Amino acid sequence: MRKPIRFLMAAALLALAMPAGTSAQTPDPDAPVVGPEIDPKPFDVRYEIREHFRQRLPPEWWVTDPIYATGLFQVVVHVPDRWRGNPTSAIMQLCPDRHSTLWQETIERILVQPFYRNRPWPSIECRK
């Protein structure tokens, strides 16, 4: 009669010693196996849009985090006050070209709006 109690006590102590979220069960043989060829970092659309603009913006220009609304991504490009020119035409040069990796995913359009001298300017729409 003492052996079953010892076994139960040992099992309870083992369960308490395990970190949270682990299981004492054996692995499921039907579970999918993650192969070494699979990319551990999936495509992050917002990160890729931020990086695209960060690499192409002139010094002192900056872009807000992309927002997904009404079926497209929207970013605001902040232009410094001392810059001279038409900001809407300047941001047209920032659109990704048609062979960009951005268009390989589900992105169809990116709305880019300049913000210059404390006011928003007309937006442009970058398309695939």
Q: What is the pTM of this model?
A: 0.66
Long-range contact pairs involving 49-54 (C-beta distance under 8 Å, separation at least 24): 49/73, 49/75, 49/102, 49/107, 49/110, 52/96, 52/100, 52/102, 53/77, 53/94
- Does residue 78 sit within a domain? yes
- Does residue 63 sit within a domain? yes
- Does residue 102 sit within a domain? yes
pLDDT on residue 104? 77
The pLDDT tens digits for 18-73 are: 555 544 455 566 655 555 566 666 778 899 999 999 999 999 999 999 999 888 99
Residue range of the domain that includes 110: 45-127
- Does residue 101 sit within a domain? yes
For the chain, the domain total comes to 1
- Does residue 67 sit within a domain? yes
Averaged pLDDT of the chain: 81
- Does residue 14 sit within a domain? no
